[in-house]
Amino acid sequence: MIFNTKIIFQRLQNIEAEISKLNNVLFALKATDIQKYGTNYESLSTDAALRAERIACQLRNLVFITEQSGKDDYLKLAADAQGITISSEDGILSITLPGLLPKRRIRTNTAFLHEPLNFVLQEYLKNHNLSLYQDCVVCFSQVYDKSLSRQRIRDYDNLEFKQILDTIAAYVLLDDTGLFCDSYHTTELGERDYTVVYIMEKSAFPVWVKSRRERLETISEIL
């Protein structure tokens, strides 16, 4: 395969420029008084996170141009790095994801999370005989690092659940409309930030709710 080294060099320069901007944002974050300027801190931290996602996607695209590293091989590594896992027990599917960001006010590349998630879902279904959920409940459990301020806990409406559900629904749900699928949200405190999506038939939901009530340090709309 013949590579256009000039184009690759230009893309690397663009990534280098993005990294420089990210470093500037991180410097501003370190200088920001969170107590006095919480709104500024939130804006800067969101900017930093989104820049990091764009950088990751730009570098990912450079990986794909080589013959030595296939896209599937890379996406498996990306999923592992992000901690994306899927498991099933007693008919309840659990999908673990990184902590979700606020809904994006600007158009950004959503491939950072969705490409690895797509890959993991495809691989799971290759190795597990899973019937589509037809009359189900989808519960998003947003877990926050308990060592940090609880002021970080966001309203559910501000998080990008819909995009995640659209990706998951294509693989495991008959339909994600209200006719076939109910949606619930919980907030918990844990050792780190992450999100778990639980999918179950509606008949299993009451038992699941009861088991969640027994967890310590749980804050939930459904309790």
Q: Could you tell me the residue range of the domain that residue 40 belongs to?
A: 1-69
Q: N- to C-terminal Cα distance for the chain?
A: 59
21 and 79: one domain? no
More confident residue, 63 or 138: 138
Compute the distance between CA of residue 12 and CA of residue 60 in angstroms, rounded to an integer: 12
Q: CA–CA distance from 5 to each of 8, 12, 21, 151 (Å)?
A: 5, 10, 24, 48
Task: Provide the 8-state DSSP code for 160.
Answer: -
pLDDT tens readout for residues 98-137: 887 666 554 455 688 889 999 999 999 999 988 899 889 9
Sequence-distant (≥ 6) Cβ neighbours of residue 121 within 8 angstroms: 86, 95, 167, 168, 171, 172
Q: Which residue carries 């820049």 as its tokens?
A: 51
More confident residue, 219 or 32: 32
Would you state the structure tokens that stand for residue 108, as one six-digit string?
């950004």
9 and 82: one domain? no
99 and 154: one domain? yes
17 and 123: one domain? no
3 and 105: one domain? no
112 and 58: one domain? no
57 and 75: one domain? no
Mean pLDDT, residues 181-205: 91
pLDDT tens readout for residues 26-61: 999 999 998 888 889 888 988 898 888 888 888 887
Would you state the structure tokens that stand for residue 101, as one six-digit string?
């960001």
Residue in 121, 86, 125, 92 with CA at minimum distance from that of residue 201: 92
| CATH of residue 170 | 3.30.1330.70
User: What pLDDT band is residue 217 in, cutting at 50, 70 and 90?
Assistant: very low
Compute the distance between CA of residue 176 and CA of residue 82 in angstroms, rounded to an integer: 25
Describe the strand order of the beta sheet including 181-190 as a list of residue ranges.
85-89, 92-98, 194-201, 136-145, 181-190, 218-220
User: What pLDDT band is residue 86 in, cutting at 50, 70 and 90?
Assistant: very high
161 and 118: one domain? yes
pLDDT tens readout for residues 137-180: 999 998 888 888 777 777 766 667 888 888 999 999 988 777 77
pLDDT at residue number 222: 42
Residue in 127, 111, 101 with CA at minimum distance from that of residue 74: 111
pLDDT at residue number 36: 87
More confident residue, 155 or 197: 197
Stated pTM of the model: 0.78
15 and 92: one domain? no
**111-127 and 38-63 helices cross at what angle (nearest 10)?**
60
101 and 33: one domain? no
At residue 178, the 3 state secondary structure works out as coil
85 and 167: one domain? yes
pLDDT at residue number 2: 55
Q: Is pLDDT above 70 for 3? A: no
